[in-house]
Chains A and B, each alone.
Chain A
Amino acid sequence: MTMAPPTLAFLVLLIPLASAVLIALVLRRRGGLASCVSLAAAAGLAVGAAYLALWGGRFSFHAEWFRLGEFSFPIGILYDDLAALMLSVVAVVGLCVHVFSLGYMRDDTAKARYFGGLSIFMFSMVGIVLSDNLFMMFAFWELVGFSSWLLINHWHEREAASDAAKKAFIVNRVGDVGFLLGIVLCYWRYGTVNLGELGALSASGAIFSSRAIPLLLFCGAVGKSAQLPLQVWLPDAMEGPTPVSALIHAATMVAAGIYMLCRIQVLMVPQALTVILWVGTATALYAALCATIQSDIKKALAYSTLSQLGYMVAAFGLGSISGGPGPGVASGVGAAMFHLTTHAFFKALLFLGSGSVILGCHHEQDIFRMGGLAGRMKFTFVAFTVGVAAISGLPFLSGFFSKDAILYLAFANNRPVFAVLAFTAALTAFYMVRLWRVVFLGAPRSQAAGHAHEGGWSLTAPLAILAVLALVGGYAGLYGHAFSGVLSLVPEAVGADHAFIFATSVVALLVGAGTALVLYGKRAAERGEGQAGPPDALERGAPVLFGALVRLRSSFDRVYDYYVAKVQQRFALVLNFFDVIVLAGFIIRGAAGCAGLVGLGARALNVGRVNAYVCWLLAGVVLLWALAAR
């Protein structure tokens, strides 16, 4: 291949766009062909990404897209190890999800729209990854929001899907208000939003002292990565097709917030990092608590995603370890990106596994109506088990290494956070083993589960690839030196610390998994069959605790619903009343009547007469004018 790497990078960006355009223009009614085009684009992207990562070198490139006055909108590519790692993750998971979708969406009536949406998503996501400046990143940031809307909305006949898509877009835009403001202020304050130039400024000794700018930019991550208090859209987003949940709402788009933080690491100041740290920690704990009471397989995984994203954000917020490699927040970046990578593999695996389960059980999503699938869906069972083991932190699987790095960083930098994250690790093991036990073991609890069956190769092949990655993805040596700029930053515990962290994580795993196995063990499973009472053993055993968790889970939505329905909507109606009645009716019409009362002229009494309108309009103008111009 003789193509210059920057050209190849642009090609990687534009291939999925070309696929989306082609599908939108000519393949709208040709679902089969559209899926092939989209799959080919994803494969091309994967090949390009692999070539770039291994042999493309590292480069940056930019050009002016347009200019107005002193402002020049740049487009450019910054391809460093960070971008290379993220692009590889997006490419691998993207390709797996495309293949899985061939089987999962085989009988869908709007296949072309679905695959076109996947392509437009890949385009937008690759754009975020490659952007060398925040303006360009913001443009693609909005576009992933749009593709997310499009794909959540796929089954738009269902009101729930339509509402969830709307909610996701709007909540993301709330975060984007801060993000955009942060970008704009950064531009005026530091004179550039180019990531390379910001890095150079910081290296040359310029001090980035603003607390507001990194925190405003973080708002964008709070929206996109669904951190507290904007996490409410992600569980609802599970209304989308399951492969979409795997790609967008688990592995890539929601991780873009963490990636963005790593891109702007030079702007961070300690106070901002503290806020980021606690937001992430609180999200990790809150979401893990919510995950323990879910009966919908996808929502359980969604809350688990939230919790793991909280881990990554917290890792970033922990900043650098004293005496660790690299400047600034390097250790945090290493730990966050490492966990992002392994999480992308095992969470995509879990979601696709749940997709296989859902399809096998004829679109049943309630885990208490499954059971005993291990025997009927052996392949999915094995793959899902690998995912569960990885996320729970079973030693020597991918999740174990990345989670340990975060726990070690917390142990070294902030003990309270360490305690919370270790407890969350136990909760993680609990809710994942609970899910696994209830879905795959015991006896089938419904007709559908009894007749479950494995899907075709397009469903199993991606599971196999992702399962392998979830097994071995934690060994940094696997990647050669391709991403060493990031992975060498991962903090590694040594000596007594190492033993302590190892012990903590094994204890967390044993306690969490053990509790789940006891609570949802054989007796509980047998009792559930055909008997009165709630199906969840926790709900039967500790109804008070269960009720408290349910209230905790819905508290945010209740507050927001109250705000939207009772505050915003009423305020809008009052303003509308003001606009229609007071401004248009009273001031313009009624003013004429009032004028007559004060005796300013009998003619003005004639409400609705042209003269009165003109007089009062002019009077208003004169009044405003007098106020402003003396």
Chain B
Amino acid sequence: MNHPLTDPLLISLAAPLAAALLLALNLPRRWVAGVAWAGFLVPALAALHVWWHFGAAPKQAGYAFLSEYGVGVPSLGIGLKLGLNGIALPLFVLAGLVGLAAGLVALRSGAERLRGYLMLLLVMQAGLMGMFASVDLFFFYFFHELALIPTFVMVGVWGGRDRTYAAMKLTIYLTVGAMLSLVGLIAIYVKAGAHSFDLVTLREVLAAHPLHATLQTHIFGLLLFGFGILVSLWPFHSWAPPAYSAAPSSVAMLHAGVLKKFGLYGLIQVALPLLPSGFGPWTHLLAGLAVFGNVLVIGLVTIAQRDLKLMIAYSSVMHMGYAFLGIACFSVLGVGGAVMLMVGHGLSVALLFLLATSIHQRTKTFALDRMGGMARSAPVLAAFFAAATFASIGLPGFANFWGELTIFLALAKLSPALAALAILGIVISAVYGLRALARVFFGPAPAEAAGEPAQGAPPDLGWGERLPALILLSALLFVGFWPKSISAPINSALEASAAFSVSGGAPADAAAQAPR
């Protein structure tokens, strides 16, 4: 039990909230940047602190840094309880790092009504940190909503093209997804009968007295589609491309990089351990939707994109397919691979959105046909974008490679044919990734190609843009070269989970009985 003032988890979500409140207090203008800076920096530092100390920290049921605060509704079993297990830890660090990078981008964005924008972004950041740090299901959901609602507002108010349409579509889809998953969570709470939203208690109770298998299947279905919509499971993905395309850079970074992972995290942290025998009937449907829908169809759709930001948005939908596939394997290897991919994808997609904005500032367009030859005058920008592209298409040395490799392995054990189809995705992603890279940076500049005199060459990345990009790129490379840094906690958490030890070989059997 930590003292509230030294609890890094509480600090990580209180600091951005406090910063947002300070900004609301009509501070002198020159303080705004500093306060916001601190609000983004503190969670990142707290995240690195807990990551560093996680191994040695005392743990209770796999959770370290546990602390309870008397906030909530005790009569309903709701209480703010913070802690991190091995699955939450890497995502908590991800949220801290991407939040810092997104904050740095926002500070330089020159947005109108900057103070309001920063306030909302800080609230979102607090929600993201809280979402992964909550052990209580109610607060887990609450913090997600805390991060989600500012997203709607920021897309609608500060967004680019078609922002009203995008914001509305985003709101509708994600509200439905969140509602479905909320119904599922409440069903678990009611049926478990433990009068507690505490995940640890629920795990113990449901391990001792599992729900009836049919009931588990139905609740799992609610959670799967609820969370699935939030993670753009095909065919419920069509909110994502317009939303990311319209969203301001920092919001796209935080949503695609971190917030979207909520659904996958919920499946792994809540649905699988609490409803282990409810997943069997769904595994084949999930794997099929993910392979054919997310990986192959959306992969090809990504190839057809002519707009840089839409391409990144679609590629993000495609990569979520791999994460779903890892989960569908229902093994430590597959689910662990999904968590590793979530981290890698979160970092790389945030970096891509960040750099896409830097490109837009120079070219005033996202249309790939109207770009070219930027590597000449902006070699550093080109190098960063190339690194981000190769990271996202799974080059070894970057975090994403480990996620993809382990997911393919786990999938091949389940079904070699599905694995073969999923592996085809590595060609598809190479096609769209390298095509965009070449279009933007190599070959002749568009003006030259049209025979017009060249205008002023676009300038290279300044240090202000390099810093957030460097944060993300270093993390990608660090995990790429030192995968143990995140795989060790993930592995120990998953191996300790009863879900995999009880039904390690079960999904295949359960799936065999599943009605088709």
Contact = CB atoms under 8 A, between A and B. Distances in A.
Nearest to A127: B396
A181 interface: yes
Interface stretch (B65-73, B90-98, B130-138, B413-421): B413-421
A66 B281 contact: no
Interface stretch (B38-46, B260-268, B402-410): B402-410
Nearest to B485: A66
Interface string B293-329: 0000110110111000000000000000000000000
A412 interface: no
A69 B333 contact: yes
Given A71-B406, A617-B173, A624 B285 contact: yes
A573 interface: yes
Q: Which of A138, A140, A180, A571 has the largest number of chain B CB atoms within 10 A?
A: A180
B444 interface: yes
A472 B505 CA distance: 60
Given A68-B406, A143-B395, A156-B441, A188 B412 contact: yes
A107 interface: no
Contact of A166 (B305, B376, B438): B438
A73 B481 CA distance: 12
Contacts, number: 179
Contacts of B332: 68-70
Interface stretch (A83-91, A520-528, A575-583): A575-583
Nearest to A156: B442
Chain B binding surface SS class: helix
Interface stretch (B55-63, B104-112, B246-254, B490-498): B490-498
A629 interface: yes
Given A169-B430, A174-B427, A583-B235, A628 B297 contact: no
A135 interface: yes
Given A572-B300, A629-B281, A181 B420 contact: yes
Given A70-B333, A135-B405, A159-B443, A180 B483 contact: no
B423 A181 contact: yes
Contacts of A519: none
Contacts of B221: 625, 628-629
B381 to A, nearest CB: 13
Contacts of B467: none
A579 B434 contact: no
Contacts of A67: 487-488, 491
Contacts of B336: 68-69
B301 A579 contact: yes
Interface in B458-516: 483-484, 487-488, 490-491, 494-495, 500, 514-515
Contacts of A176: 426
B514 A173 contact: no
B495 A624 contact: no
A618 B177 CA distance: 9
B375 interface: yes
Chain A binding surface SS class: helix
Interface residues of B, number: 74
Nearest to B435: A166
Interface in B26-45: none
Given A166-B434, A579-B297, A579-B301, A180 B423 contact: yes
A621 interface: yes
Q: Which of A143, A163, A568, A624 has the largest number of chain B CB atoms within 10 A?
A: A624
A418 B491 CA distance: 54
B225 A157 contact: no
B301 A156 contact: no
B152 interface: no
Interface string A608-630: 00100110011011001101111
A157 B301 contact: no
Interface in A114-161: 135, 138-140, 142-143, 146, 149, 153, 156-159, 161
B282 interface: yes
Interface residues of A, number: 67
A353 to B, nearest CB: 30
Contacts of A184: 408-409, 412, 419
A162 interface: yes
Interface in A544-585: 568-569, 571-573, 575-576, 579-580, 583-584
Contacts of B285: 624, 627-628
Contacts of B173: 617
B282 A629 contact: yes
Q: Which of B176, B180, B430, B491 has the largest number of chain A CB atoms within 10 A?
A: B430
Nearest to A64: B484
Contacts of A206: none
A36 interface: no
A576 B487 contact: no
A55 interface: no
Contacts of B390: 146
B236 interface: yes
Contacts of A113: 379
Contacts of B444: 157, 159
B424 interface: yes
Interface string A167-182: 0011001101100110
A185 interface: yes
A92 to B, nearest CB: 26
B191 interface: no
Contacts of B281: 628-629
Interface string A183-197: 011011000000000
A618 B183 CA distance: 13
B514 A177 contact: no
A588 interface: yes
Contacts of A580: 238
B172 interface: yes
B401 interface: yes
Contacts of B180: 618, 621
Contact of B376 (A139, A157, A610, A620): A157
A156 B375 contact: yes
Given A135-B405, A571-B300, A628-B281, 11 more contacts: A69-B331, A143-B395, A156-B441, A169-B430, A177-B427, A572-B300, A572-B301, A572-B303, A579-B238, A583-B235, A629-B218
12 contacts: A28-B379, A67-B491, A69-B331, A69-B332, A143-B397, A146-B395, A170-B427, A185-B412, A576-B301, A617-B176, A621-B180, A628-B515
